[in-house]
Structure 1
Amino acid sequence: MAAAEPSPAPGQHREAHGHPRFHVFGRVVEVRREGALWQAYRVGADGKRTPSGFVIPDFVQEQELAQFLEDLFHESASPHNGDVYRID
């Protein structure tokens, strides 16, 4: 039997799928906390997830994820998709 996921802190929320998703310079990335580690997945147009191939350090807090992703992928910015933000 799997342990229940902790409820988000006041002022935070989780999407219907249960894990935060981010628009990262035109791509969708889903981030999951699995034990003490973050796991990141690219989300395709069909909704299928594949491992992202990059590492998010375990000390990064959930509220810091968007900034971390922006710092990591800033070279992917373009005039047409120059933002990183949480998808709600």
Structure 2
Amino acid sequence: MQDEYRFNAFGRLLAVVRANGRWAVFDLGTEGKRRPADLHVPAALAADELAQYLGDLLHEDATPRYSEVVPVALPRRA
């Protein structure tokens, strides 16, 4: 089973995917492609803690325009 969560982390679009008991983080491109982000999320972290963890990890990327980590809705599947 795979779960996916998306975030705008200080202007950086990220997908965090849980598969086989581990988290993987991907940078999302505007054309729909994803590439591995060089970020580690502990396997024991719960899904409801992801935004806070990403905020703690990436807080130095904050700007006046992008000052927080916010969830982004997954695209609707047809």
TM range (shorter): 0.7 to 0.9
Q: Which runs of 5+ in 1 are unaligned?
A: 7-17
Find the counterpart in structure 2 of residue 78 from structure 1.
63
Structure 1 segments of 4+ aligned residues over 4 angstroms from their partners: none
Q: Which runs of 5+ in 2 are unaligned?
A: 74-78
Find the counterpart in structure 1 of residue 32 from structure 2.
47
Find the counterpart in structure 1 of residue 5 from structure 2.
20
3-state secondary structure, aligned to 1:64: helix
Give aligned-pair identity as a percent. 36
**Greater strand fraction, Structure 1 or Structure 2:** 2
Alpha-carbon RMSD across the aligned residues, in angstroms, is: 1.3
* Bigger Rg, structure 1 or 2: 1
Aligned residue pairs total: 73
Higher relative contact order, structure no. (Cα contacts within 8 Å, ≥ 6 residues apart): 2
TM-score normalised by length of structure 1: 0.78
